[in-house]
Amino acid sequence: MIILFSGIAPHPIAEELLSLGVLIREAIAISEVFRLIELYPDAPILITSDVDSDRAKLIQQRHSTLYLKPSATARDVLWELSDLISASDKPV
């Protein structure tokens, strides 16, 4: 499950991820993001480049996020998430 905070819904990256079998929940309002975080506390949070930086900061101040470049593809997202997950599984 991934939480996607974007400026539009459906966002093209969400459609790409869905086509690869990834479960995704989209939000275009900050309140929606916080509600999804309550429902899916372990879900990674992706923020697309079309989200205003002030709005993005409200989420980034409280939660770890991945900020997507405009050219990001679904495969890029999966690569970053797999790297993030494997890093968190390594003992310290």
Residue 89 reports pLDDT greater than 90: no
Find the domain containing 37 and state its range. Answer: 2-89
Dig out the tokens for 56 from the structure.
């993005």
Q: Structure pTM?
A: 0.89
Q: How many domains does the chain have?
A: 1
Sheet with 65-67: strands ordered across: 24-27, 2-5, 45-47, 65-67
User: Average pLDDT, whole number, for the chain?
Assistant: 91
CA distance linking residue 30 with residue 45, whole number of Å: 12
Other CB atoms closer than 10 Å to residue 13's CB: what's the count? 22
Q: Tens digits of per-residue pLDDT, 4-48?
A: 999 999 999 999 999 999 999 999 999 999 999 999 999 999 999
